[in-house]
Amino acid sequence: MLDGKNILLGITGGIAAYKTTFLVRLFIKAGANVKIILTDSASSFVSPLTLATLSKNPVVTDFIKSEAHTTDWNNHVELGLWADIMLIAPATANTLSKMANGACDNLLLATYLSAKCPVYFAPAMDLDMYKHPSTAASFEKLKSFGNIMIPATSGELASGLYGEGRMAEPEDIIDFITDHLSKGLPLQGKKVLITAGPTYEAIDPVRFIGNHSSGLMGFELAKASAQLGAQVVLISGPTHLQVEEKSIYLKRVVSASEMYDAVLADYTDADVVICAAAVADYRPKTVADQKIKKSDSDFNIELIKNKDILFSLGALKKNQYLVGFALETENELENAKGKLKRKNLDAIVLNSLNDKGAGFGSKTNKITFIDTNSQIVAFELKTKAAVAVDILNEIVKRRYA
């Protein structure tokens, strides 16, 4: 949800400002771009150098840049327009009151008044301040403007009192924002099941039969699904790829048989199923317990057929929207249409090894999306991240539009 988003973080002068170092790291880890406005008093609690290092952007504190004799300045309008999300954390009673009443005596407040994006605020103050009627009035007024409050929690406060007023923990702030952003997304509340990567079929403890799939297409589909609000189950064969999103549950398998069992276990309550894995069609009939020693010049392996995962899912399909992949080298369109019908799919994604930059081992792909109504949509060569978005958009248009 936060990948690629521009986050403008405003930090005001409260003891909770020390938590923002962890908050910035979490934003960066989630793939966001972070810029920071620090008020004068906030710099007493957290170092601009620390925040600049973590965010990889200069920290701004005032309208005029600090270099001597400069005519350059920090443009609050540009900062407000740059942001996809503005977060003020910690938000002190003083700053909240100024925000609620339109006061504009520092760079942070001027930027807040210029922002066109959603604005979140995370209050942090002592118990009596938090409970004061003027603070409650600021909360209500800000929410009436469309600002989103991240509620403070209860606990031991800097004064020694115990009660409400602690700024939400950085992890909880991230979760709050991502949950809020996901509301109203087309796949919110939907379960998307995706397969990715190759399968390895053992010959002996050392050797296996496999293919060149990196798993990147399936992982990008999982990421794009999560960004549309879905809870994702990603079942992947052997690959070095990782996931960061909490809404993606990654199950790792090795063989086609393991993938078959894992997919069937999650299939019943899935809403959308996308089989992007390059599953081995055959496996060795017998697997040696020990490493096979080199002896004769010829070596034969007897193969038997694996269960067809996609065919099995098509036979069991009830309310799922089932999508397969077809990697072809000849008669591409006809073969893909045949697979679509034969396996009882709702749609199939065709890519051809004849297209430069498509298929295994590449960061790009060129696809054609075909559905059961023979509606064919061809796309140009794109990154696999962009291809994943195209595929999800086609599914959403047909299933949830």
User: Which residues are designated catalytic?
Assistant: 211
Give the 3-state secondary structure of residue 153.
strand
Q: What phi-psi label fits residue 344: left (phi over 0), alpha (psi between -120 and 50 degrees) or beta?
A: left
How far apart, in whole angstroms, are the C-alpha atoms of residue 227 and residue 247? Answer: 9
Closest CA to 219 of 367, 388, 393: 388
Give the 3-state secondary structure of residue 78.
helix
| Residue 21 near residue 46, CB atoms below 8 Å | yes
φ, ψ at 94 (rounded to 5°) = -60, -50
Give the 3-state secondary structure of residue 269.
coil
How far apart, in whole angstroms, are the C-alpha atoms of residue 11 and residue 50? Answer: 13
How far apart, in whole angstroms, are the C-alpha atoms of residue 252 and residue 211? Answer: 17
What letter represents residue 73's amino acid? W
| Residue 55 near residue 35, CB atoms below 8 Å | yes
How far, CA to CA in Å, does 186 sit from each of 182, 234, 345?
Answer: 9, 19, 21
Closest CA to 86 of 98, 99, 97, 101: 99
